[in-house]
Copies of this chain bind each other. A is one copy, B any other.
C-alpha cells in the first residue's frame, strides 16, 4: 500500500477529491514553469512547460494572479490623479491600509483593532521591544530560543545595548535537551519559572524557522505573564501557515512578514499585533504622525493624541504598492479560512512525511520537525547525514525542477504551502528526492555525466 501511495495516480486522486475545497487555491497563483527556473535540467523533466514543484513558500510565496492588476490600478491612479490619489480613486491612499487590516486580522486570529500593517518584520520587532522590553532593576532579561533567527537575536542584543545593559547578562537563550532537536514546552515553562521576576520579555519564533517546530504559544505566553513578563511572538513562519489565535492566546505583541505564506512579494510589508488589553494605556512607543488620531493628524499640532488601538504604533504614511500587493493575496485567503487551510495542510504535510519516511531508513535521512501535527506547521525539515549529501541532493532536486531550500549545514526545508500546493507536488517531490539521493550517493562519474 505504501508503495502505491507514492504514485502520481494516488496523488492525483487525492487532488481531485480535495481540489473542490475552498482551501485549494492553486489557480489563483502564478506557478513558475520547470523551464523558467535557472537550474532545471530539462532533459530530466517530463515537460519543460509544466509547473515546477514549488515547496518554498516558507521563504517566498508565489505571486497571486491578481497582484499585477491591483498594482497597475494604483500606477494608473498615480499617473492620472497625482497627489489627489490620497483622497480619490477606488482605494484612496491615505487610509489604504484599511483594505488589509481585517483580512490580516482574520489570518492571525486577532481583532482588527489589534493589527497594523506597516514597515518590515525586524523594524516591527524593534517597535514591539521598545514597548514591551522595559527593563527595570533585576527584571531585565529577554528569553528566546538559542537557535533564533539571526535578525531576531540581533534585535534582542542591540536593544539590551541601547538600554546600556550587557547582553551577556540579560539574554537568556533556551536550548533543547542534549540529543534532542526541539524544545519541550515543559522545559520552556520551567525555565520561565526559574527566571521568575528577572524575566522582562520572552520572544520566540512561533514556528522555528530551522526545525519547523510550532511552539505551544498559549501556555508559554501564560507562564511568562504569570511571572510578570511579557510575551512577544515572531510569526514570520506562522502567518498564513497555521491557524494562529493571537488574541485568544493572550499574546502581548507579535509581528510577521508577508512575503512568505502571505505571498506579498519580495520584501513585502510587515504585520504588527498589540493585544487589546494594552490599547489606550499610553505604553512607551516610538511615535510618528500616522499614530496620531486621524481627526487631528493633519493639523500639524504638537499634541500627541494617539489612535486608540494598534494603529497608535504606526509611524509613516502607508506604502501603496506594497499594501495592494498584500491585498491581492489576502483576497485569496478570504475565500477560505485558516482553519480550513490548516486542515488540508495537515493532510498534505502528513502525506509528505509518509513519503519521506519511506526513504529515511536507507539514506540516514531524518525528519527533525516534530511528528505531532499540532507541533508543526506545513514545513518539514530533513536532516542529512552529511553536508555533502545534503547539498548534492539539493542540487539534484533543483535539476528536477523542485524548489526547496537548503539551510547550512545539512538541512533541507520542504514546505507545502497550504494555499497553493497539492498532493501531486508532494508526490513529485518525493520521487525527485529519491532520485537525487540515489544520484548523490552514486559514483562521481555518473553524477558528472548528469550535471
A288, B84: Cβ atoms closer than 8 Å: no
CB distance from A247 to the nearest CB of B (A): 26
- Given known A123-B315, A154-B291, A267-B93, contact A60–B83 (CB-CB < 8 A): yes
Nearest-neighbour CB distance to chain B for A101, whole angstroms, equals: 16
Q: How far does the Cβ of A370 sit from chain B's closest Cβ, in whole Å?
A: 20
Query: Chain A: interface residue count, which band?
Result: 35 or more
| A119→B83 CA distance, assembly (Å) | 21
This chain: copies in complex = 2
State which of A74-82, A212-220, A358-366, A430-438 sits at the interface with chain B: A74-82
Chain B residues within an 8 Å CB radius of A288: 122-123, 126, 151, 154-155
**A405 an interface residue at 8 Å Cβ cutoff?**
yes
Whether A154 contacts B267 by the Cβ 8 Å rule is: no
Q: Which residues of B contact A317 (CB under 8 A)?
A: 120, 266-267
Whether A68 sits at the interface, judged by CB under 8 Å, is yes
Q: Contacts A122-B315, A126-B286, A319-B319: A302 and B60 contacting too (C-beta < 8 A)?
A: no
CB distance from A332 to the nearest CB of B (A): 15
Query: What 0/1 pattern do residues 60 to 81 of A give for CB contact below 8 A with B?
Result: 1011000110011011001111
**Which residues of chain A from 162 to 187 have any CB-CB distance to chain B below 8 Å in the complex?**
162
CB-contact partner of A154 in B148, B153, B287, under 8 A: B287
Residue of B nearest to A87 (CB): B38
Contacts of A322 in B (CB 8 A): 267, 319, 321-322
A27 to B: closest C-beta gap in Å: 14
CB-contacts of A194-212 with B (<8 A): 210
CB pair A82–B68 under 8 Å, yes or no, is no
Contacts A150-B301, A154-B289, A316-B120 given: A62-B88 contact, CB under 8 Å?
Answer: no
Q: What is the CA–CA distance of A72 and B67 in the complex, to the nearest angstrom?
A: 11
Chain B residue contacts of A161, Cβ below 8 A: 284
> Which one, A29-37, A225-233, A237-245, A336-344, is touching chain B?
A29-37
Q: For chain A residues 140-155, which have a beta carbon within 8 Å of chain B?
A: 148-151, 153-155
Is there a chain B Cβ closer than 8 Å to A320's Cβ?
yes
Contact A38 B88 (CB under 8 A): yes
CB atoms of A78 and B266 under 8 A apart = yes
Q: Pick the most buried of A30, A82, A290: most chain B CB atoms within 10 A of its CB.
A: A82
**List of B residues within 8 angstroms of A80 by Cβ:** 30, 32-33, 36
Residues from 298 to 353 in A contacting B, C-beta threshold 8 Å: 298-302, 304, 315-323, 325
* Interchain CB contact under 8 A, B81 and A37: yes
A30 / chain B contacts, CB cutoff of 8 Å: 78-80
In the complex, what residues of B have CB within 8 A of residue A290's CB? 122, 151
- Decide if A42 is an interface residue (CB 8 Å cutoff): no
Do A157 and B79 have beta carbons less than 8 Å apart?
no
Please measure, in the bound complex, the distance between the C-alpha atom of A328 and the C-alpha atom of B266, giving whole angstroms.
Answer: 18
Given contacts A84-B37, A302-B150, contact A157 B287 (CB under 8 A): yes
A315 and B120 form a contact (CB under 8 A): yes
10 sampled A-B residue pairs with Cβ under 8 A: A30-B79, A30-B80, A83-B403, A93-B267, A126-B288, A149-B300, A153-B302, A157-B302, A266-B319, A321-B321
In the complex, besides A30-B78, A151-B316, 7 extra interface pairs with C-beta distance below 8 angstroms are A60-B85, A63-B75, A120-B315, A151-B289, A158-B285, A158-B287, A321-B321
